[in-house]
């Protein structure tokens, strides 16, 4: 494994107008690590995730993936934002799964998965389809390849969305509350796929309210509130013995 962190955030800040959403966030994620980020709504968790693949641009600080600055290039000590096409090229190595599944309703599950590899990477339809069928099998949906999203449950749609992200063979997977839009009985099937991904060695950053998943799967846990990292550490230690009063108050409501 590389000595270089997969993700390195150095004093990252972000505002929307006068609202300071991220306040000097610094953290590191190593290759193969699963980091869970927890915290109340509005604490900056999703914004931080979106900054990692430059869907939101940072106002200050630096974010790098495998040692490469995200969304910017540095010249003579100054940062210059990449053109949208360059940023999109960077983004293809970073998979992202959103709270809402964002599948194209007019395409079948298989067509949703093969679209990006064909358009972005120039993969042939035959090769993309073969890979997509493998991924459908991996997420437990081998028999749903030709179904349209409207005929799939929320949990099935989210598993297709995970397969779609994996089709680009990313080195990093970002999950933004991937189970919060699901009916409770469908949450487990999505978490099972994510657990299998973690076991396979995929580097993952997961914004979640699923404390059981964080305890079982994550290597590290970050609690955010008000745009800052309040507390971080081993998930079992943070969840059972939080050191900060704000963490204690939050966990008392969710555990």
Q: What confidence tens digit (pLDDT) does each residue in 85-124 have?
A: 898 888 889 999 999 888 999 999 999 999 999 999 999 9
Residues 72, 79 contacting (CB under 8 angstroms) = yes
Residue 195 has phi, psi (to 5 degrees) of -65, -40
In this structure, the number of other CB atoms found within 10 A of the CB of residue 150 comes to: 9
Contact status, residue 180 vs residue 209, Cβ threshold 8 Å: yes
Strand ranges in the chain using DSSP code E only, listed in sequence order:
7-16, 19-29, 34-38, 60-65, 68-69, 72-75, 78-81, 94-97, 172-176, 203-207, 220-225, 228-233
Which pTM was predicted?
A: 0.94
pLDDT in tens, 182-223: 998 899 999 999 999 999 999 999 999 999 999 999 999 999
Q: Answer for the pair 172, 65: CB distance below 8 angstroms, yes or no.
A: yes
Percent over 90 (pLDDT), the chain: 87
pLDDT band at 77 (very low <50, low <70, confident <90, very high): confident
Query: What is the per-residue pLDDT for 255?
Result: 80
pLDDT of residue 88: 87
The contacts found for 140-143 with CB under 8 angstroms, 24 or more apart, are 140/189, 140/192, 140/193, 141/109
């Amino acid at each position: 494994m590389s000595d270089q962190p997969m993700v390195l955030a150095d004093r990252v800040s972000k505002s929307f107008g006068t609202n300071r959403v991220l306040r000097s966030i610094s953290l590191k994620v190593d290759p193969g690590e699963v980091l869970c980020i927890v915290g109340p709504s509005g604490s900056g968790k999703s914004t931080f995730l979106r900054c990692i693949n430059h869907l939101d641009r940072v106002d200050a600080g630096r974010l790098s993936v495998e040692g490469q600055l995200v969304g910017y290039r540095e010249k003579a000590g100054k940062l210059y934002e990449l053109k949208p096409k360059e940023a999109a090229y960077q983004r293809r190595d970073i998979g992202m799964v959103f709270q809402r599944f964002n599948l194209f309703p007019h395409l079948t599950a298989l067509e949703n998965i093969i679209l990006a590899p064909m358009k972005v990477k120039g993969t042939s339809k035959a090769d993309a389809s073969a890979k997509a069928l493998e991924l459908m099998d991996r997420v437990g949906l081998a028999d749903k390849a030709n179904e349209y999203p409207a005929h799939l449950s929320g949990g099935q749609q989210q598993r297709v969305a995970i397969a779609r992200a994996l089709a680009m063979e990313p080195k990093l997977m970002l999950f933004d509350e991937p189970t919060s839009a699901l009916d409770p009985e469908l949450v487990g099937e999505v978490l099972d796929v994510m657990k299998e991904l973690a076991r396979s060695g995929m580097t993952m950053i997961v914004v979640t309210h699923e404390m059981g998943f964080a305890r079982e799967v994550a290597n590290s846990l970050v609690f955010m509130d008000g745009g800052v990292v309040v507390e971080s550490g081993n998930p079992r230690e943070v969840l059972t013995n939080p050191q900060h009063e704000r963490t204690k108050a939050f966990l008392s409501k969710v555990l």
